[in-house]
Amino acid sequence: MNQGPTIFLGVFLTFASAWLGLVVAPYVQLEAQRSQNAAKVDAPPETPMEGLPAQGRQVYRANGCVYCHSQQIRPENFGSDIARGWGPRRTVAQDYVGERPVMLGTMRTGPDLANIGTRQTSAAWHHLHLYNSRITSPGSIMPRFTFLYEQHQVVGQRSSAALTFPPEWDVKPGYEVVPTNEAKALVAYLLAMDRSRPLEEPGP
Amino acid sequence: MTLAYIVIFASFVLFAVSVVFALGWAMSHGQMQNFQRGATAIFDPDEPLGTRTDSFPGSAANVVSPPERSHE
Amino acid sequence: MSEQTISIAQTESQRQAFARQRAAIDASARWPVLGFFTGSVVWLLIGTVLALLASIKLHSPEFLDGPSWLTFGRIRPAHLNTVAYGWASQAGIGVTLWSMARLSRTELRYPRLLMFAVLLWNIGMLVGTIGILAGEGTSIEWLEFPAFAPPFFALAFAIVTVSTMVTFSNRREPHVYVTQWYLIGAVFWFPWLYTAANLLVIYAPVSGVSQASINWWYAHNVLGLWMTPIGVGSTYYLLPKVLGRPIYSYQLSLLGFWSLALFYNWAGVHHLIGGPIPAWLITLSIVGSVMMLIPVITVAINHHMTVLGSFRQLRYSPTLRFIVFGAMSYSAVSIQGSLQSLRTINEVTHFTHYTVAHAHMGAYAFFTMIMFGSIYYIVPRLTGWEWASGGLISFHFWSTSVGVLVYFIALTFGGWYQGLDLNRADVPFMTIVRNTLPYLQIRSWAGMLMAAGHLAFAALFAMNLLHFGKQRSGPTLFFDRPDAATLTVIGDAPGRTV
């Protein structure tokens, strides 16, 4: 008996039944309708970050922050991202327009940062946290980014950008720690991260 | 639809087409017949069925045949 | 002479002829395959050091954290790329080239060009890895090499594909064995994937979030259409070859290949479930992921039934141990993968260490272990020298198999609990971090065990190349290249049409 056509028919039927059988259920599950109405933000997409925050994105990229931090909020009934206060709504495609690269992330060794600019508005906190995360967050396992900072002797007046440490962490007297341009850019990027603009209601 | 999704969808289609094409080639060139011959094509007169071809270094030569088994 | 003596003489000369053919094929593959294997072993060691660094830094963040090039965010992608492209891919290419030549019963074509490909590949690895550590990494997972590195790989790969296909098209064996289908698939699909992904994400990036879709379509297909075909294909050849018995159901093996070819390439976007990606794409990825159960189960049945009754042989064959371990891991990790793509499971496991455990089950417990087994089989046939120490081989097997199992169990449990807690908004984030620490520490210990195994493997490899130990003996091995006349006798099988 010629097995060829039999095999071909078997393959074709498998393929076709997979399509028919498995497309329907997941579609319903994944709220296909809601995302198909193409949720839009209620203002035109913001221009991609320019200037210092854009440079900061490259510092984020160069140092692999994406390997511990995500930048995406899952829908309300899928995980607890919104309940944790990481954002008021799920993130949609428009939230990432113009980003190069897009760093959605796939690990949450650290918290999600999609809206960190709305949660943490203090540049000073960010600098301390990046210099040594255990200063602001005991128990943190984030690496120290001391190479983004410069420690030197105070000459005359303390620099206005110098970090202010809590007493138990202070550097030795006569010395100060100032951020490099890279650190300033990175903090500007973190402060600018905001994907919380409300969505339009889906049309009728 | 952005270029990215077009490329991904096109690749699904192209892959599927190439698979169907290859399957057709296989069938028309007798690859789907005589599975017995196919399964034993990897054996030779000097590495025949029943002979192991691997052993730990320094151990005895491959002389033990696996137990007889019939199927199909 | 009596009839019996004539036929014995004929059978004996047949045996010798086949042995000569096989020796000639092995000889033709010697330099390119050993070249790729040497590259793979070197990068395995480098990748292992990077792995240990990354693992330790997660639970002890201040470990060696001064200079920028040692920060976790650079070490981690350096580890991934060195093991994926330096170790795994070069081992895979070596196995592909040798297997295709053997199964086609013809010499490997363009060996000198392939040596150039070895050089290109390893230069690409060097500049790419230094690039990542220098802060030029792209932060696109599995595509972190900066833009100046991929051209080396693209060109090297083109050479590999051409050599493989030309070798295949000059085959003397009329039947296309299932392994050859898998290998053709791998060398045909992967260049397309690699080029498309690099173009659309690195060189002329598509806008916004669709980068992520291309990223994960590519990254998963590295596992599904590059590593899996080579790993499964190699098993289909070496398992029966080592045991001396054919595959349990050859028909089933073909069904497995064709269904893998149809479904696997849809699966990749399941890495983005819940993310800002079109629903139709996510749906397709879940469909593809679930349909993969068909090829996975056929492969599982086939491999298991082929070995059934011969598990005793595991004591006597290094190759068999590694390959059987790898094949069982393939079944386990694939079924796990299909389950992970389902919404309810994904909700817990996404973003956690559970995924990392799964990735290592696939890339290590499945693919790397099969590559170890394949290399143990192939290298003595290329160098003519036996492995120097059975004890070291055993040590290698036990340290890596136990190591990866401990790794997998630790991070699977740690990741699952992490995911459950992440989904309870009342559990403070820092509590979750603290709870993962013991599992991360166990992973570091497991990693050190695996590293010890890699050192043993590298030592054995070096010793074989340097001709320590015993020369291979046996009636079937010839070292001087047979003349052309003897080869053509067995070669031209009748009935081959293409």
Residue C180 CA neighbour count, 13 Å, CB half: 25
Note the pLDDT of residue B56.
82
Residue A17: pLDDT band by 50, 70, 90 thresholds? low
pLDDT at position C487 over 50:
no
Q: What b/e sequence results for A28-59 when a residue is b if at least 16 CB atoms lie within 10 Å of its CB, and e otherwise?
A: eebebeebeeebbbeeeeeeebeebbbbbbbb
Q: What is the pLDDT of residue A129?
A: 97
Res. C210 pLDDT band, cuts 50 70 90: confident
Alpha-carbon span C268 to C410, nearest angstrom: 25
User: In whole angstroms, what is the distance from residue C157 CA to residue C190 CA?
Assistant: 9
Q: What is the pLDDT of residue B67?
A: 37
Residue C470 touches partner B, C-beta closer than 8 Å: yes
pLDDT at C469: 80
Q: Is A153 helix (H, G, I), strand (E, B) or coil?
A: strand
Spatial separation of the C-alpha atoms in residues C239 and B2, rounded to whole Å = 45
pLDDT reading at A166 higher than 60 = yes
How far is residue A47's CA from residue A33's CA, in Å, rounded to a whole number? 28
The DSSP-derived string for chain B is: --HHHHHHHHHHHHHHHHHHHHHHHHHHTTTTS-HHHHHHTT--SSS-TT------TTS--S-PPPPP----
Which of C207, C245, C390 has the CB atom closest to B56's CB atom? C390
Distance from CA of A182 to the nearest CA of C (A): 12
Number of domains in chain C: 1
Neighbours of A197 (CB within 10 A): 14
Position C9 confidence tier, pLDDT thresholds 50, 70, 90: low
Q: How far apart are CA A154 and CA A167, in angstroms?
A: 18
Q: How far apart are CA C315 and CA C394, in angstroms?
A: 10
CA B21 to chain centre: 18
Rounded to the nearest 5°, which phi and psi values hold at A178? -120, 150
Q: From the list C207, C376, C470, which residue is nearest B2 (CB)? A: C207
Which chain A residue has the Cα nearest residue C288?
A18
Which amino acid makes up residue C109?
A: R
Locate the chain C residue with the closest alpha carbon to B60.
C316
B25-39, B58-72, C369-383: the lowest-pLDDT one: B58-72
Q: pLDDT at position C158, please?
A: 95
State whether C274 and A23 contact (CB < 8 Å): no
Q: Which residue blocks in C276-389 are alpha helix, DSSP H?
A: 279-291, 293-307, 318-340, 343-349, 353-360, 369-383
Asked if residue A43 has pLDDT above 80, the reply is no
pLDDT band for position C453 (cuts 50, 70, 90): very high
A55 touches chain C (CB under 8 A): no
Which stretch of A56-70, C96-110, C214-228 has the lowest confidence by average pLDDT? C214-228
* pLDDT score of C7: 61
Q: Nearest-CA residue of chain B relative to A11?
A: B20
Contacts C262 to A, Cβ<8 Å: 11, 15
- pLDDT (average), residues C177-184: 93
More confident residue, C363 or B37: C363
Structure tokens at A173: 């007297």
- The pLDDT of residue C214 is 82
pLDDT value of position C276: 72
Cα angle for residues B54, B57, B61 (degrees, 5° grid) = 55
Tell me the percentage of chain C whose pLDDT exceeds 90: 63
Closest by Cβ to C73, choosing from A15, A32, A67: A67
Could you list the residue range(s) of the whole structural domain that residue C373 is in? 25-474
Mean pLDDT of A52-76: 95
- Domain range summary for chain A, segments of one domain joined by +: 9-36, 51-192
**pLDDT computed for residue C251 by the predictor:** 82
d(CA C145, CA C150) in angstroms, rounded, equals 7
Tell me if A177 sits within 8 A of A171, measured CB to CB: yes
Residue type, C25: I
Contact A103 C139 (CB under 8 A): yes
Chain B within 8 Å of C391 (Cβ-Cβ)?
no
C204 touches chain B (CB under 8 A): no
Average pLDDT over residues C179-188: 92
In 3D, which of C151, C216, C160, C158 has the Cα closest to residue C192? C158
- The tokens describing B39, both together, are 């399964």
Give percent of chain C with pLDDT exceeding 70. Answer: 92
Contact: A98, C138; criterion CB under 8 Å = no
Average pLDDT of chain C? Answer: 89
The closest alpha carbon to A198, from A81, A92, A102, A96, belongs to A92
- Spatial separation of the C-alpha atoms in residues C422 and C181, rounded to whole Å: 44
| pLDDT given at position B41 | 85
Question: Would you state the pLDDT for residue A202?
Answer: 54
Which chain C residues are closer than 8 Å to B65 by Cβ?
244
Instruction: Using pLDDT thresholds of 50, 70 and 90, give the confidence band for residue A98.
Output: confident
C192: nearest CA partner in chain B? B11
The pLDDT of residue A203 is above 60: no
Q: Per-residue pLDDT averaged across C443-466, rounded? A: 97
Determine which of A168-182, B3-17, C148-162 has the lowest per-residue pLDDT on average. B3-17
- Across the interface, do B12 and C265 touch by the CB < 8 Å criterion? yes
How distant, in Å, are the alpha carbons of B15, C98, C162 from that of C188?
10, 17, 10
- Cis upstream peptide for C150 (omega within 30°): no
Chain B residues lying within 8 Å of A5, measured CB to CB: 27
CA separation for the pair C309, B71 (Å, rounded)? 14
Other chains touching A, judged by 3 or more CB pairs under 8 Å: B, C
pLDDT at A6: 58
Least confident segment among A151-155, A187-191, C467-471 = C467-471
What is the DSSP pairing of strand A149-153 with strand A175-179? antiparallel
For residue C201, tell me if it sits in a domain.
yes
Q: Taking residues A112-120, what's their average pLDDT?
A: 96
pLDDT in the model for residue A10: 59
pLDDT of residue A123: 96
What pLDDT score was predicted for residue C286?
A: 79
Instruction: Write down the H helix ranges in C170-292.
Output: 178-198, 210-222, 228-243, 250-263, 279-291
* C482 part of a folded domain: no
Nearest neighbour of C316 by CB, restricted to B8, B31, B55: B55
Confidence of residue A66 (pLDDT cuts 50, 70, 90): very high
List all residues 6 or more positions away from C332 whose beta carbon is below 8 Å from its beta carbon: C361, C365
- At residue C476, the pLDDT reads 37
| Between A11 and C150, residue with greater pLDDT | C150
A153 has which bridge partners?
A: A175
pLDDT in tens, C219-231: 988 998 899 999 9
Beta bridge partners of A107: C351
Decide: C320 and C242 in contact? Cβ < 8 Å: yes
pLDDT band at residue C6 under the 50/70/90 scheme: low
With cut-offs at 50, 70 and 90, classify the pLDDT of residue C253: confident
C22 touching chain B per CB within 8 A: yes
User: Which residue in chain A has the smallest CA separation from C437?
Assistant: A141
Say which residues have a Cβ less than 8 Å from residue C379's Cβ, sequence separation at least 6. C34, C37, C387, C461, C464
Instruction: Please check the confidence at residue C110 and state whether its pLDDT lies above 50.
Output: yes
Backbone phi, psi, residue A150, to 5°: -130, 125
From the number of C-beta atoms within 10 Å of its C-beta (0-12, 13-18, 19+), residue A174 rates as exposed
Tokens 């491999």, residue located? C303
Q: Which residues of C touch A92 (CB under 8 A)?
A: 276
In this structure, the number of other CB atoms found within 10 A of the CB of residue A24 comes to: 11
- Banded model confidence at residue C496, pLDDT cuts 50, 70, 90: very low
The share of chain A scoring above pLDDT 70, in percent, equals 75
ipTM comes to 0.89
Q: What is the mean pLDDT of residues C170-193?
A: 90
pLDDT (tens digit, 9 = 90+) per residue, C283-337?
Answer: 778 788 888 888 899 999 998 988 888 888 888 889 999 999 999 999 999 889 8
Beta-carbon contacts of C253 under 8 Å, excluding residues fewer than 6 positions away, are C178, C236, C247, C298, C299, C302
Closest partner residue to C347 (CB to CB) among A23, A78, A93 is A78
Cβ atoms A163, A149 nearer than 8 A: yes
> Which uninterrupted H or E stretch holds C79?
helix C72-81
Strand partners, C471: C385
Residues C187-205, mean pLDDT to the nearest whole number: 87
Q: A51-192 architecture in CATH?
A: Orthogonal Bundle (1.10)
- For residue C473, is pLDDT > 70? no
Q: What is the pLDDT of residue C147?
A: 94
Angle between helices C89-104 and C369-383 (to 10 degrees): 60
Query: In the prediction, which pLDDT does A25 show?
Result: 47
The domain that holds C233 is classified in CATH as 1.20.210.10
pLDDT at residue A107 in the model = 96
